[in-house]
Amino acid sequence: MKRFLQTLLFCFLGMSAFSQQDPLYSQYINNPMVLNPAYAGLNDNFNASVTYRNQWGGFEGNPKTFNFNSHVSLVDNKVGAGILVVQDQIGNAKNTELQAAFSYKLALDDEKTFSFGMQAGFVNFRNNYTDLNLEDETDDAFIQGENVTKPNLGVGAILKSDRFLIGASIPRLLNTTISVSNTTGSQDFQLYNRTLYVFGSYVYFLNENIRLKPAVLLRGVKGSPVSVDLNFNLNFNEKYTVGAFARNFNSVGLQLQAKLGDKLRIGYTFEIPTGKSVPTNFLTHEVFLGLTMPTFDFHDRSISTF
């Protein structure tokens, strides 16, 4: 088992060394802003949230992700603006990013809104190989660590109503390469491949107090199979939510959310691997804390389903 875990971790470190990918989230259904800049200001309020994810707890070098974002609706709810701060770490690899997001919202009719968004900023990619036990310490790929900062652009679009939300985005649009010097010269490595997200959710009103909110997220990146997240949530009295989800059936989990008063929300996700990727004893916990409140006269005072 120990040799298996060491091998698996080394594979992740090898992939993250020259091909970092987007962090995973389970609470994106509560805050699509983490995946799509078009969500900035889409609920016609001021919003701020913090998410922390500890994946595969107990696994040495396991992924850990921190996300802070805030966004607000402006100009009579015609545009939105926001910021994102993300730190994602797995083993010796750490990515830190700062993004500013902007959106333009077009009311198609009394029920539907189309939003197009962009984000721009910087991503710092950092790797420290001094803590790795390498079989060949002269391996050119691991002679020096990485500490590079690259610009980023992202795009997204969302169609929203009270009943549904459909969106597509590429939050990190620029493929990034770096040049690493070694004993034979220099070598170019692909640092990041863009990831496409397609997200959809619908609300079924079972009765006056209970709503069913299924959702699906498709995640695609070049060279890898499409990843599929399935979510099924039940909302009670517009205050409490309980649900289940599965990601490629490699992990399954339980999602909980509660409203604390009129402005605060707290969410929690508990994930269990199915054994196809990692052993079932390495559990994942994700915590979400969000604030939603009207701050301008033109902001919406009603409860939004998305």
Q: What average pLDDT does this structure show over 279-293?
A: 90
Of residues 302 and 189, the one with the higher pLDDT is 302
Which of the pair, 172 or 19, is modelled with greater confidence? Answer: 172
Q: How far apart are CA 64 and CA 73, in angstroms?
A: 30
| Token pair recorded at residue 217 | 């997220």
pLDDT tens digit sequence for 184-229? 556 666 667 789 999 999 999 999 899 999 999 999 988 888 999 9
What 3 state SS string does 267-285 have?
EEEEEEECCCCCCCCCCEE
Q: Please determine, for residue 255, whether its predicted confidence score (pLDDT) is greater than 90.
A: yes
Contact indicator for 267, 257 with CB cutoff of 8 Å? yes
C-beta of residue 234 within 8 angstroms of C-beta of residue 210:
yes
149, pLDDT greater than 60: yes
Pairwise CA distance, residues 27 & 269, whole Å = 7
User: How far from chain centre, in Å, is Cα 129?
Assistant: 26
pLDDT, position 130:
61
In the block, tokens 């009295």 appear at 237
- Rounded distance, CA 240 to CA 242, Å? 7
pLDDT at residue 18 is higher than 60: no
Give whichever of 7-11, 173-177, 255-259 has the largest mean pLDDT. 255-259
Does 14 have pLDDT greater than 50? no
- Check the CA dihedral 240-303-105-46 and report its sign: negative
Lowest mean pLDDT among 35-44, 112-121, 174-183: 174-183
Mean pLDDT for all residues in the chain = 84
Say yes or no to pLDDT of 259 above 50.
yes
Provide mean pLDDT across the span 116-140.
74
pLDDT for residue 2 is more than 60: no
